[in-house]
Amino acid sequence: MKTPRFNRRSFLGTTLSTTALATGTALWGGLRTAQAADRPAVVDPRATSGDVKHQPAWDEMLTITVGQKTGDLTGKTDKAIQAAVDYVSRLGGGTVNVLPGEYRFDNGIQMSSQVRLTGSGSETIFKKNNVKQTELTEDSDWFDQEVTFKPGHGFNVGDGVCLITKNTDNGTQTVLTRTLVARSGDRFKLDRALRNNYWKIGQAHAKSLFSLIQCDQIHDIEISNLVLDGNRENNPNLNGNYGGNIFAQDCHQMLFQNVESRNYNGDGFSWQICHDVTVENCHSHHNADLGLHPGSGSQRPIIRNCKLDENNIGIFFCWGVKFGLAEENEINACRQSGISVGHRDTHNLITKNKIRNCGEYGILFRPERGEGFTGDHNRVEENELLNNGAKQALGIDIQGMTANLNIVNNQLKETRSTAGSVGIQVGAETSAIQLDANTFTGFATDVKRLA
C-alpha cells in the first residue's frame, strides 16, 4: 500500500467542511443558526478552551514512534502501541507511527480523540492471537465489576475478553466486551461493570474476542497504512454489532485510509451510530461477515476506492444509514451480495462501483418489515455489474415495499449463459422505481416485474 503524506490541515479541514455542508445550517432543529452573511468568517483562530470546531493550523504536533527494536517505544504486542496512543492523547493529540513488523494482540487498541495511528503499509501488521475461552465458575450480578474463571483458562491481566451469557428470563444472548485489569488467582476485575447478570444457570462463559482497533465515543481520528489480520481460522465469530477488525461506536469525524482488513471471523470494518466516517483506498477481504458495515444511525458515510473481496457481503447499509456515498469501489466474489440496502437506509448514492461474481445478488434492496421500513429514496447510478448470482443470475433485486429508487445508467452483464438470468428484478409491492438508460447484456430477461 502506498503511504501518502499526511496533512493535518487538509484532514481536519476536509472533515469539518464536509460536515458543515452536509448538515446545513439548521444544526439545532428549530433554532435558527447564524448564516454566513450574519457574522464574520473565522480567520486565524486561537486555541480556546472548549472550541473543537476551530483550531490553529499547528505546524507540528507530537509524534511517537513504536518499533520492535527501535523507536520511542519498543515492543511486539498491543501494549507498546496502546502506551503510545495514551501518551499522545494525554498531550492533546498527534501521531503514533508504527514501524514494520508483525505485532501480536491479546487486546485491541483503544483509540482516543485527535490521534492518528499510522504504519508502514503492508509491512506493519496487527494480528490477533489464538482464542482463549473458559466458563465462569461464580455468578456475577449486573452491578459487579468482576468475574471468576474456571482454572486453566490462560487469561492474563490486560487481555481483552468477550463475556457471553443467556438471559434466564427470555433466552436471548447477552454479549459484552471488557478488559481484565486485576486478578487474584482465577478472579478478575474488569475495566467496567457488567450491567447484566452473568450467572452459571445462563451458561456464562468468556472468550478472548475483541476488535483489533476499538473506537468508543471519540472524534477526529485517522487510521492509515496498516494491515489488520483477525486470524479467522483460530478464532470463533464475533457479531459485527459488537466488534470487527476495526469497530467504532458513537463516534464522528473518522478517516480510515489505506488499511487492509483481512481474515476476521466477523466484519472487516464496522461502525455504529458514527457520523462523517470516510473509508478510502482500503482493502477488506476474506472476512466471515461484512466487508464494510456502516451501522445503525450512521450519517453521511463516504466509502470510496475500496476493494472488497470474498466477504459474505461487500457493503452492508444496516439501519437508518443516510446521506451516504459508495463510489468507485471494486467488489468481487462476496458470498451473498455486493451491496445490501435495507432498514430505513435512505438518500444514499451508489455510483461507479464494479460488482462481480457475488453469490446471490449484485445489489439487494431488502424487504424489511414493510412500508416505511425499507431503504427508500436511494440512487444507483453508473455501476458495472457482472456475473452475479450463482444459482440464478441476478444483477439487482428490489424486494418488499421499497419505494422511490432511481436506477440509472448502469451496465449489467451476464456471460455464463445461465438459464432464467435476470438483470433487474422488481418486487410486486415496490413503488416508484425509476429505471432509466440501463444496458443489459446476456440476460434471459433484462427487467422482471413480479406480479
Residues 292, 282: Cα–Cα separation, whole Å: 10
* Residue 326, pLDDT above cutoff 50: yes
Provide the grid cell at 273.
Answer: 451510530
Provide the grid cell at 142.
Answer: 449486573
CB 354 within 8 A of CB 383: yes
Residues 226, 177: Cα–Cα separation, whole Å: 24
Residue-level pLDDT at 430: 97
Residue-level pLDDT at 36: 57
One-letter amino acid at 424 equals I
* Residue 23, pLDDT above cutoff 50: no
- The terminus-to-terminus CA distance of the chain in angstroms comes to 49
Q: Count CB atoms within 10 A of the CB of residue 199.
A: 17
Residues 179, 210: Cα–Cα separation, whole Å: 9
Residue-level pLDDT at 20: 42
- CA-nearest of 227, 245, 260 to 125 is 227
Q: Which of 28-37, 67-76, 134-143, 302-311 has the lowest mean pLDDT?
A: 28-37
**Residues 52-73, mean pLDDT to the nearest whole number:** 94
Residue-level pLDDT at 28: 37
Q: Which domains does the chain possess?
A: 69-127+210-449 (2.160.20.10), 133-207 (2.40.30)
Residues 442, 418: Cα–Cα separation, whole Å: 9
Q: Please give the angle made by the CA atoms of 437, 438 and 439, to the nearest 5 degrees.
A: 115
CB 194 within 8 A of CB 174: no
* Residue 6, pLDDT above cutoff 60: no
**Residues 227-256, mean pLDDT to the nearest whole number:** 97
Residues 209, 232: Cα–Cα separation, whole Å: 11
* Residue 323, pLDDT above cutoff 80: yes
**Residues 134-159, mean pLDDT to the nearest whole number:** 98
Give the torsion through C-alpha atoms of 371, 376, 382, 384, to 10 deg.
Answer: -50
SS3 (DSSP) at 160: strand
Q: What pLDDT band is residue 419 in, cutting at 50, 70 and 90?
A: confident
Q: Which of 13-17, 42-46, 243-247, 299-303 has the lowest mean pLDDT?
A: 13-17
* Residue 440, pLDDT above cutoff 60: yes
**Residues 428-437, mean pLDDT to the nearest whole number:** 98
* Residue 280, pLDDT above cutoff 50: yes
Q: For 160-179, write each residue's pLDDT tens digit.
A: 999 999 998 898 999 999 99
Residue-level pLDDT at 52: 79
Please state the length of the chain: 451
Residue-level pLDDT at 33: 52
**Residues 49-69, mean pLDDT to the nearest whole number:** 92
Residues 206, 136: Cα–Cα separation, whole Å: 7
Q: For 75-110, write each residue's pLDDT tens digit.
A: 999 999 999 999 999 999 999 999 999 999 999 999
Q: For 177-234, write each residue's pLDDT tens digit.
A: 999 999 999 999 999 999 999 999 999 999 999 999 999 999 999 999 999 999 999 9
